[in-house]
Structure 1
């Protein structure tokens, strides 16, 4: 009797693992998270908030999650080659960013590297599109999804997990850019 119960449990576990692996194998090789916001300010007013890592404190959602995190900056103050590294609590982890492209005032592209809570290497782009007196800001993050990541994506949705942070960041960016000079 005990042997039958154990074999049944083992069969359930094996089938469960097989289902998870099959679902993971069907996940895409890359992920993408994109959010947009219309900011009532010209691109020239929004761009410096993105191209200067020291300005991120005014709008980045992660800056508020761990105000005690350690930060370091390198390279030029703004634009291509500017770097930002951080080490914080479980809410922000540890990693670094480097501006790879800076087309004033329309686009900033970054290389984003996480060390913890897990290693990841993603590309981030901010695109600023004039809309009359306003600016449409598009924030996109794209990254590879190795098989272990695909298994994690069976249980969590990257878009839902990071998208909310992008939305709150864009809301704070809007507030900062629309503030009277």
Structure 2
């Protein structure tokens, strides 16, 4: 009787693992998270908040999650070659960013590398489109999804998880850009 129950439980576990692996195998090889906001400020003002890593404290959602994180800046203050590295608590992890393309005031591209809580190498683009006296900001992050990541995506939605942070960041960016100078 006990042997039958244990074999049945083992069978359920094996079937469960097989289902997760099959679902993971069907996940895409890359992910993309995109959020957009309209900010009532000229593109030059918004661009200044993005192109200078020291200005990210005014709007980045991760800066607020761990105000005590260690920050290191390198290269030029703004534009291609500017770097920013951080090491923080479990809410922000550890990693670095480097500006790889800067077309003021319409586009900024970053290489984003995470070390902790897991290694990841992603691309980030901020696209700024003038709209009347304002700016439409589109924040996009893309990256590869290795098989272990696909397994994680079976249980959690990357778009929902990171998208909420993007939405918070864009809301704070809007407030910072619209604040009187």
Q: TM-score range by the shorter chain?
A: over 0.9
Mapped pair 1:155 → 2:151? no
Give the whole-Å Cα distance in 2 for the aligned partners of 1:56 and 1:68.
15
Give the whole-Å Cα distance in 2 for the aligned partners of 1:77 and 1:45.
16
Q: Unpaired segments of 5 or more residues in structure 2?
A: none
* Matching of residues 81-92 of structure 1 within 5 Å: 81-92=81-92
Matched residue, 2:43? 43
Matched residue, 1:9? 9
TM-score (norm. length: structure 1): 1.00
**Superposed CA offset, 1:104-158 (max 9, x none):** 0000000000000000000000000001111000000001000000000000000
TM-score (norm. length: structure 2): 1.00
Q: Unpaired segments of 5 or more residues in structure 1?
A: none
* Matching of residues 22-171 of structure 1 within 5 Å: 22-171=22-171
Deviating above 2 A after TM superposition, structure 1's stretches of 4 or more consecutive aligned residues are: none
| Equivalent residues, number | 181
Secondary structure at the aligned position of 2:89 is classed as coil
Give the whole-Å Cα distance in 2 for the aligned partners of 1:127 and 1:151.
31
Mapped pair 1:175 → 2:175? yes
